[in-house]
Amino acid sequence: MPFHLCSKNSHSLFAPPAPVIDPWPIHSGLGYRGAEYKPTDGDYAYYEAARTRLLLTERGQVALRSGGLIARIASDVVSVDRALLGPGDRVVEQGVCFRPRHAAVAFWDDKLTEDEENLICGVYYVATDINKPKNRQLTIRSWWPRPSAFVGSALEVGWWSPACEAWYQNRLRQIANRTADLISSVEWKKNLKLERKCIPYLEGVEKCSKLILTSTAAQFHG
């Protein structure tokens, strides 16, 4: 599950500058590939090595606190104990701010950048036109679904469930058996789509959970 370990800073109530968005992010994740790109065993080994290098830095502990698939991938590389080390020295410049209403202090925690999430998930930007290998029409394909595809899917139930682990291990077996291909963002969302009849059930669970937590909090403070 995602969680935060924050540092308190009474002098830095400003938000960090908004990141510059590259309209053609060929250097994000694992970079740009030409049309009809098919990864090799060497490509996957490079992805694993690059991902491991990132996760063995202090960014690995941020990944563990991110929850979901990002945290599960990170847990194969670094100990979950590292998630408790807290934010880094540059959290105010690079992290996310939580400030209670009318509070004189702000609370900061580290946050992965989109480029870091793309690297962890094994994202490539692949050209779509074989006749124009240098065009700017790109599709995002990846070894694993990005958070935007995983959150809200049938697997995202608030914690890493047995169903999530079974899906994860099956995907690893496909990769090991060389039967797995890169999947586009659209295909990931379609493959992980939440069954329509499950939505009212999950909404009901969330509503009941809120009622229980509100009641418990009222009793505690009362």
Is 120 domain-assigned? yes
Q: Are residues 199 and 89 in the same domain?
A: no
- Judgement on whether residues 41 and 119 belong to the same structural domain of the protein: yes
pLDDT on residue 212: 87
Q: Which residue has the higher pLDDT, 101 or 80?
A: 80
In a domain, 148, yes or no: yes
Is residue 129 within 8 Å of residue 138, measured between CB atoms? Answer: no
Residues 165 and 220 in one domain: no
Both 186 and 198 in one domain: the answer is no
DSSP string, the chain: ------EEESS--SPPPPPPPPSS-TTSTT-EE-TT----HHHHHHHHHHHHHHHTSTHHHHHHHT-HHHHHHHHTTS-GGGGGS---TTHHHHSEEE--TT-S-EEEE----HHHHHHHHTEEEEES-TT-TT-S-EEEEESS--HHHHTTSTT-SSS--HHHHHHHHHHHHHHHTT----EEHHHHHHHTPPPTTHHHHHHHHHHHHHHHHHHHHHHHH-
Q: Is residue 2 assigned to a domain?
A: no
Residues 186 and 200 in one domain: no
The tens digit of pLDDT for each residue in 144-156 reads: 999 988 887 888 8
Give the up-direction half-sphere exposure of residue 195: CA atoms within 13 A in the CB hemisphere.
Answer: 6
Question: Quick one: 122 and 42 in the same domain?
Answer: yes
Does some domain include residue 1? no
CB 124 within 8 A of CB 33: yes
Domain count of the fold of the chain: 2
- Do residues 115 and 94 touch, judged by C-beta distance below 8 A? no
**Structural domain span for residue 72:** 7-191
Q: Are residues 203 and 180 in the same domain?
A: no
pTM of the full structure: 0.77
pLDDT tens, position by position, 163-201: 899 999 999 999 999 999 999 989 998 888 754 555 566
Mark whether 80 and 161 lie in a shared domain: yes
Looking at the structure, do residues 200 and 174 belong to the same domain, yes or no?
A: no
Q: 153 and 52 in one domain? A: yes
Mean per-residue pLDDT, 95-109: 78
Judge whether 87 and 108 are in contact, CB under 8 Å: yes
Mean pLDDT of the chain, nearest integer: 82
Does position 2 have pLDDT exceeding 70, yes or no? Answer: yes
Give domain status of residue 27, yes or no: yes
Neighbours of 72 (CB within 10 A): 16
Residue 219, pLDDT > 80, answer no
Q: At residue 23, does pLDDT exceed 60? A: no
**C-alpha span between 116 and 178 (Å, rounded):** 25
Given a cut of 80, whether residue 92 has pLDDT beyond it is no
* Co-location of 147 and 207 in the same domain: no
For residues 143 and 201, membership in a common domain is answered with no
Write out pLDDT tens, residues 104-137. Answer: 778 888 899 999 999 999 999 988 876 655 556 8
